[in-house]
Structure 1
Amino acid sequence: MRNIAVRAINLAQQLGASYVDVRVMERTTEGIEVKNGRVEGVSSGTSSGFNVRVIVNGAWGFASSARIDEAEAERTAQQAVQIARASALVAGEPVRLSPLAAQKGSYRTPLQIDPFTVPLSQKVQLLLDADAAMRSVKGVTLTNGLMEYSRERKLFMSSEGSEVEQELYDTGAAINANAVDPASSEIQTRSYPNSFGRQAGTAGYEFIEAMDLVQHGVRIGEEAVRLLSAPQCPGGIMTVILDGPQVALQVHESCGHPIELDRVLGMEAGFVGKSFLTTDKLNGHYRYGSDVVNITADATIPGGLGTFGWDDEGVPAQRTPIVTNGIFTGYLMSRDTAPLIGLSSNGCVRADNWNRLPMIRMTNVSIEPGTWKLDDLIADTDDGIYMSINKSWSIDDRRLNFQFGVEAAYEIKNGKLGRLFKNATYTGITPQFWGSCDAVCGRDEWIVWGTPNCGKGEPMQVMRTGHGAAPARFRNVQVGVGRWS
């Protein structure tokens, strides 16, 4: 692989490139899905290739190929240079890169059990056993189980002298149970550990074993059935406690996306929208949330889906304060966007494959743990709603107005959990919502939740991001059908 990268860099420089980087990459993915007691599918695939990214006359050029040999390296480098020269004909500010010392080294995801070495029969049986536990509950009509794991090997080299190798693993799984009312055709679902795909992390098969999927099968089956006869969640202005997975998604949608600097600068406006966190707010005075809200972007958290050694520009993984005691303090940046606001890249650029242009993506954007225990937080709440696991969401293209629905909600009365409610939703405006946060649970209940399917760009790239979160309380929240302002 190294010979390919060296050949491409040398030729691109000879053709006039002021900067060149090359990524050579191989990704292997396997997946298992079961449905209603049967194996629905087993998939396995490997994709490999490389890309060349150059700056010529102040403009970017990018080209890629699945054919990995030295002749193709030269052809691809030449194509990237030609694209950059064509791009430079369009008037615009020349690309400037934030400084970066040459990087050398290697990184491998820490893991105890390589998921690719675990017998397929063992992994399938785990999902079938969890499926059987769900189906043992009378009234459950549809069950699903999913497991997916991947290994990504990549080499990054640049004309600045960087050379880093990485081997990244991600592993995850989830189950869900559905109950259907035959009279009304109403469907209710309960998921574990999370909805919309799976809970995943940069770890080995031990990550899946720790989920105890089989042990939770009966519980989520029973809850799905109970939801059919549960009353509708009441509406009004209420105190709300969100569980960890829901807080993680709230962070992802209403903080993670609006701090992507390319969105802020309008570079993604035509594809995924802009951001309300405009650059004039980065002055240490914009209040994003209450004093208890502290948010970081940290690519060094053990097990996070946004954890790595270096990003896809060769910038080392690092931790960046995003919101400090409620005050907005930072963005996710790349080497070519950071100089536009007088800063340097904080290592937030990734591509989902060898044939995709690297772009700003979330690392592990997390709300830092507070001091509460969940039981104490509920006991401290006289009247409210506890909401669990996301069911639906909608948010505007500036990431300001939002609505979320959850799978299940519980009444809180006099500091105790009460009735189960279905079809609970809440709405808000991002800074006001986070401004209403008055409590976050502590480190013991803080988990890095993985979001394995975040889409962005054109053509769309799917990226794996992580979000550390614990249950949190919000006051004066509009529950039920609310009005967006």
Structure 2
Amino acid sequence: MHRRDFLTFSGLGVAGLMLPHARLVAAEELLAPADVARQKLLADTVLAAAHKAGASYCDVRIGRYLNQAIVTREDRVENVVNSESAGVGIRVIVNGAWGFAAAHRTTPEGLATAVGNAVAIARANSKIQSRPVQLAPQKGVGEVSWRTPLKRNAMAVPVKDKVELLLSVNAAAINAGADFINSQLFLVNEQKYFASSDGSWIDQDVHRIWLPFTATAIDKASGKFRTRAGLSAPMGMGYEFLDADPSGRYELPGGVVGYGRSYDPVADAIAAAKQAREKIKAPSVKPGKYDLVLDPSNLFLTIHENVGHPLELDRVLGYEANYAGTSFATLDKRESGFRWGSDIVNFFADKTQPGSLGAVGYDDEGVKTKQWDLVRDGILVNYMATRDEVHLLGEDASHGCSYADSWSSVQFQRMANVSLAPGRAPLTPHEMVKDVENGIYILGRGSYSIDQQRYNAQFGGQLYYQIKDGKIAGMVEDAAYQIRTPEFWNACSAICDERDFRLGGSFFDGKGQPSQVSAVSHGAATTRFNGINIINTARSLG
């Protein structure tokens, strides 16, 4: 999450959760099911009207977006927000050009106005468009549905129980030595109905959950303080993620506990308080070249920024240049067999990963989701593309990565779950550390800086441990690693096996103008990189 997003969601009363035309609702209303029969009737009305108005293609998204956010600090609740936003988004092609319009009112008059607006916009666009839209073929799937697999719907858990959980997290951290702590719980339920003139009527119910916190310890004598954020990841799951299943725990080097498909926030808060206090006394890192051992809780962000974003085809083509930059991974690099990383580096995109933030059955163009390779054996082989882009790659089927964050937003190309494949040979994090003579072991995401082409960057973390002669030699502080993307991934020398594979993720990934947010996961196992430059951030700041 970017700092500005965090401030929006926690410091400003989670007003950012309010989508267009959102209304505050009672918690009980978050459980009301969508009326699928009514949605199909509305969709068919739109499709018929668009056809009559001259559209050669039409898709309609009927969305009901439900959000709950609970914000706490120490022993008090600072905010509880339940919101609902509902409406219809209509996209058409007329004379080879796109047009889009949305309607909050789903009356016959409101739908007719929206269809008319979408068609009018498409006709206007066609007069200045240099070439017609070229959609990849898409066979209609009929009437189908998909649901996030849930054992326990988080929206159904009483607010009282959620508040008690967060306050117990805070109390555990304070009792363990933290001076301050803030914790939040974010829940999202997207009820989305998609229909298109291709012959698809798709009903989907998507759930996401995240419990972040930050614990702060202060040395009252010196005024020095340190923080440690939670090590959990946001997930595409239900409340079962917070059931603290011991099978979801990973015993890592340095006595640290990592988390996979379940999370114990109370135990993590206790560890965070102790580690924040330990960080106050930790020596500052000596800058230089080190072998890095990166936990998935840290590496996911590097994957997101330096693999996921530069392999979005719209960014490669320059469509994001004004807002977020371009990409060093230009199309000619795929044609020339560009070496992205060492032979053991394999990246794949996957919109079907169970528990991931990006998992859906169908994207927002009605394309069935799938897995595909981006980097194979270290070589760049593909990108992420939608129906109207994929022909530029010489392919005739969309990758299924179109998404809109609201019924009122037009769908466009968003990042799929991008993951580093685990190593093929048996290897645990403990075994990996034993082979490191002089290294730094990093857990958790920290601050970062990156250029507009996703080529040069530096990344921090939450916890840093020095490795000496194959053993954890104690905590250090003030570290960040500097990278050039291909050099960094070519320095990848070892990847732990699938037993250590875990998901990290971004709950609020921004893109586009007007800006939209999406949620995306990135999987990895603990990974080693040889000879990476470590800087001392305290010295860098003077």
Report the TM-score range of the alignment, normalised by the length of the smaller protein.
Answer: over 0.9
Matches within 5 A, 1:210-289: 210=244, 211-283=263-335, 285-289=337-341
Give the structure with the higher percent helix. Answer: 2
* Structure 1 letter corresponding to 2:409: R
- When structure 1 is superposed on structure 2, of 437-446 and 182-191 the one drifting more is 182-191
Go from structure 1 to structure 2 and tell me whether the alpha carbon gap of 1:438 and 1:67 turns closer, same or farther (over 3 Å shift). Answer: same
Does residue 106 of the first structure (1) align with residue 145 of the second (2)? yes
Shift of 1:174: 2.3
CA distance in 2, matches of 1:253, 1:317: 22
Tell me what 2:59 maps to. Answer: 21
Q: Which residue of 1 aligns with 2:470?
A: 415
Which residue identity is paired with 1:352? D
Equivalent residue number for residue 341 of structure 1: 393
SS of match in other structure, 1:17: coil
User: What CA distance in whole angstroms lies between the structure 1 residues aligned with 2:138 and 2:536?
Assistant: 50
1:202 is matched with 236
What letter is aligned with 1:92? Answer: S
With normalisation by structure 2, the TM-score equals 0.86
1:305 to 339, 357, 363: 357
1:368 to 396, 414, 421: 421
Give distance in 2, aligned partners of 1:204 and 1:388.
25
Matched, 1:90 2:128: yes
SS in 2 for 1:449: strand
Asked if 1 retains the 8 angstrom alpha-carbon contact of 2:97 and 2:129, the reply is no
Gapped regions of structure 1 (runs ≥ 5): none
C-alpha distance in structure 1 between counterparts of 2:243 and 2:515, whole Å:
32
Tell me the CA shift for residue 128 of structure 1: 0.9
Q: Deviations over 1:392-416 (max 9, x none)?
A: 0111111111111112211000101
**Matching of residue 388 in structure 1 with residue 439 in structure 2:** no
1:127 matched to 2:166 = yes
Structure 1 match to 2:88: 50
- How far off is 1:181 after superposition? 4.1
Kindly provide the amino acid, as one letter, of the partner of residue 506 in structure 2. Answer: T
Partner residue in 2 for 1:31: 69
* Equivalent residue in structure 2 for 1:448, among 478, 503, 512: 503
Shift of 1:235: 0.8
Q: What amino acid is aligned across from residue 47 of structure 1 in structure 2? A: S
Q: Secondary structure at the match of 1:93?
A: coil
Give the drift of 1:341: 2.6
Shift in Å, 1:137: 2.7
**What is the aligned residue count?**
478
Where 1:282 maps in the other structure, the secondary structure is helix
The one-letter code matched in structure 2 to 1:131 is N
Distance in 1 (alpha carbons) for counterparts of 2:106 and 2:520: 29
Distance in 1 separating the partners of 2:464 and 2:127: 57
CA RMSD of aligned residues (A): 1.5
Residue deviations 1:65-112, cap 9 Å, x none? 111122211110110011111111214221100111112311011010
**Is 1:6 the counterpart of 2:44 in the alignment?**
yes
| 1:172-211 alignment runs, 5 A limit | 172-182=210-220, 185-194=223-232, 199-210=233-244, 211=263
Q: Determine the C-alpha separation between the residues in 1 that align with 2:277 and 2:452.
A: 36
Residue aligning to 1:378:
433
1:358 partner letter: Q
Q: Deviations over 1:419-447 (max 9, x none)?
A: 21112101110011001001111111111
Counterpart in 1 of 2:156? 117
Q: Using the aligned pairs only, state the percent identity.
A: 38
Once residues 402 and 186 of structure 1 are traced to their aligned partners in structure 2, the CA distance between those partners, rounded to angstroms, is: 28
Change (3 A) 1:184 1:96: farther
Q: Deviations over 1:337-376 (max 9, x none)?
A: 1112321311011111111111111221100111320000
AA aligned opposite 1:293: V
CA contact (8 A) 2:478 2:536 kept: no
Q: Distance in 2 between matches of 1:165 and 1:241?
A: 43
Equivalent position SS for 1:404: strand
1:85 and 1:177 map into 2 onto residues whose CA distance is 55
- 8 Å CA contact 2:63–2:191 kept in 1: the answer is yes
Contact 2:285–2:536 (CA under 8 A) maintained in structure 1: no
Could you tell me how far apart the structure 2 residues matched to 1:284 and 1:113 are?
49
Aligned: 1:350 with 2:388: no
Cα distance between partner residues in 2 of 1:276 and 1:235: 28
d(CA) in 2 for partners of 1:185, 1:64: 53
Return 305-314 or 177-186, whichever deviates more: 177-186
2:164 and 2:59 map into 1 onto residues whose CA distance is: 44
Query: What is the alpha-carbon distance in structure 1 between the residues aligned to residue 74 and residue 183 of structure 2?
Result: 9
1:403 is aligned to 458
Matches within 5 A, 1:325-336: 325-336=377-388
Aligned partners of 2:410 and 2:430: how far apart in 1? 46
Aligned partner of 2:28 in structure 1 is none
Q: Is 1:437 paired with 2:475?
A: no
**Is the partner of 2:213 in helix, strand or coil?**
strand
Contact 1:408 1:424 in 2 (8 A): no
C-alpha distance in 1 between matches for 2:188 and 2:461: 29
Question: Does the alignment pair 1:476 with 2:531?
Answer: yes
3-state SS of 1:52 partner:
strand
Q: Are residues 181 and 88 of structure 1, via their aligned partners in 2, closer, same or farther at CA, if it must alter by over 3 Å? A: farther
**CA–CA separation in structure 2 for the residues paired with 1:341 and 1:325:** 20
The C-alpha deviation readout for 1:232-271, integer Å capped at 9, x for no partner, is: 1111111111111111111100000011100011111111
Partner Cα separation in structure 1 for residue 81 and residue 315 of structure 2: 35
Give 3-state SS (helix, strand or coil) of 2:310's partner. coil
What is the distance in 2 between the residues matched to 1:185 and 1:260? 45
Q: Distance in 1 between matches of 2:231 and 2:243?
A: 12
Matches within 5 A, 1:455-474: 455-474=510-529
**What is the identity, as a one-letter code, of the residue corresponding to 1:365?**
V
Q: Counterpart amino acid of 1:307?
A: A
| TM-score normalised according to structure 1 size | 0.96
Letter in 1 for 2:534: V
SS at match of 1:200: coil
Unaligned 5+ runs, structure 2: 1-38, 245-262
CA distance in 2, matches of 1:184, 1:24: 57
8 Å CA contact retained: 2:479, 2:536: no
Counterpart of 1:129 in structure 2: which amino acid?
S
